[in-house]
Amino acid sequence: MSHPTNTRNPAYTPKDATQTRRFPLRELVLFGALLIAVLAVYALMGAAYSTRMLVEAACYAILALGLTIQWGYAGQFNAGVMGFVALGGFCAMLFSVPVNDAFWGTELPGELGQVLLYGIAATLLVVGATKLDRLGVPKKLRTVIAVVLAVVLYLVVISLLRDVTSQIQSQAGFVGGFGLPPWVGWIVGGALAGGVGYFIGHVCLGLRSDYLAIATLGIAEIIKAFLKNSDWLTRGTATVSPLPWPTPGPAELGFTLSRAIYLSVTAVVIAVIFFLLHRAYHAPWGRMIRAIRDNEVSSAAMGKDINKRRLEIFVLGCILMGLGGGMLGTFNSLFDPQGYLPLNHTFLVLVMVILGGPGNNLGTIFGAVAVYIIWIMSEPLALFLMQLAVAFGEGTFGWDAPSNMDSRALQARVLVIGMLITLVLRFAPKGLLPEKIKSHG
């Protein structure tokens, strides 16, 4: 300690590591423009409509935060946001809808529980059969036994389940809800989405990054198919509504005020998530995640368990998506499995994240609100433009326009979203508010 000045190389003074605070001009300009856009929507469309738009944008912001930690923090691409959103919406429905006495009053719940128990027992049996080689059974024989057992037991359980579910459908309509407050459903929805995310991540995260995209795309379609066709659980295409709100509903306070209160609930949730994510990002854990994203080999050499960390962050993102999906479902007050579309619930969220700035939470929230406003406003705009084109075509060329022009006009928005994705990737790969990389000298 006698000659501290000699032992330290002046090129590596730690003062460079402290970030120079710059004036956040870009943030201010962008959020100012956003505020003006919101005010313009309020002036044009009225308070009730605009508040609804803001609540939905806030729910999408939660989804976008989920995706930004997967894609921005860790470089994992989740192409099945829709599935996790639908799971969240389903749980919000299941827990908040009033109890259906036509189902719970009969012996049907007992039978359903019995089938579920059979299912668990069958799973245990099959898992046991896969361990038979420890008792000295040859490995090939064990595999054959396990596969045959699995097929037979699966067929038995599934036909029992088909019986019970068709009885439920014919006698009680559907299972009904638990009559609990909606926030219970949101939390369980997040947990369920996280569980599915754990399963997918466990299978795919150790392999090429493309496989995760393929698998998530598939699981999203499967979840949707399940929710759409399980009439005994979700009423399928018949839809369930209304879903009770955790806050006073429009019937008591009017549309604007009740939606404003719901908006404040979502705002609080976003603030909490934002704060926690901000802390996590700057904590050693966040640094480790980014190190893995930027250079896997060197972080593995540092002794980091790459697959475990990846799984952690993937599950975390899925939990947020389930939570956001639950809040969105409750707000819509309608559970319609067919309403979950890859375009609205996967690619829109993707555009929000890559346009706003992957890895930058503030940018993601900005992207979510801005893109959602554009998305909502583009619907009347697309219809107007299409009508203009049809009128022009009929007047000038005597073109006989097909009757379904309105639905085609909405398809044009698919084109715009696709173009946005490719253009942003090409010209602004870091988004409008790029992730701030701290430089250490």
Partner 1 sequence: MNELAFFINNVVIAGSVTGSIYAIGAIGVTLIFSIMRFAHFAHADMMTFGAFMVLLLTTAFPAVGASIGVPTALIMLPLAMLLTALLAVGIDKAFYKPLRAHGVKPIVMVIGSLGVTLMLQGLIRLFSGTGGQSLYVDDRKEIFRLALPFEGARAPIVITEPQIYLFVITLVAVVALHLFLNRSRLGKAMRAMSDNPELAQASGINTNTIVAVTWVIAGGLAAIAGTLLSLDVTFKPDLSFFLLLPIFAAAIVGGVGHPYGAIAGGFVVGFAETLAVFNWNVLLRPFQDSFPEWLTLPSNLAFVGTEYKIVVPFFILVAILVWRPTGLFKGKVI
Residue 187 contacts residue 323 (beta carbons within 8 Å): yes
Residue 219 vs 277, nearer CB to partner 1: 219
- The two structure tokens encoding residue 390: 């049809």
Residue (of 301, 308, 260, 269) closest to 285 by Cα position = 308
Residue 201 contacts residue 64 (beta carbons within 8 Å): no
- The 10 Å Cβ neighbour count of residue 103 is 18
Residue 113 contacts residue 349 (beta carbons within 8 Å): no
Residue 102 vs 217, nearer CB to partner 1: 217
Which one-letter DSSP state was computed for residue 344?
A: I
> DSSP 3-state assignment of 394?
helix
Residue (of 331, 109, 323, 344) closest to 241 by Cα position = 331
Distance CA 274, CA 285 (A): 16
List of residues contacting partner 1 (CB under 8 A): 75, 77, 79, 154-155, 158-159, 162-163, 203-204, 207-211, 213-215, 217-219, 221-222, 225-226, 228-229, 342-343, 347, 350, 354, 402, 404, 407-408, 411-422, 425-426, 429
Residue 159 vs 171, nearer CB to partner 1: 159
Residue 185 vs 337, nearer CB to partner 1: 337
Residue 218 vs 244, nearer CB to partner 1: 218
Residue 95 vs 372, nearer CB to partner 1: 372
Residue 235 contacts residue 174 (beta carbons within 8 Å): yes
Q: How far is the CB of 223 from partner 1 (least distance, A)?
A: 10
Residue (of 302, 278, 299) closest to 289 by Cα position = 299
Residue 236 contacts residue 217 (beta carbons within 8 Å): no
- The 10 Å Cβ neighbour count of residue 225 is 11
Residue (of 412, 357, 365) closest to 388 by Cα position = 412
Chain mean position to CA 427: 26
Residue 280 vs 412, nearer CB to partner 1: 412
Distance CA 205, CA 75 (A): 11
- The two structure tokens encoding residue 331: 């707000």
Residue 343 vs 383, nearer CB to partner 1: 343
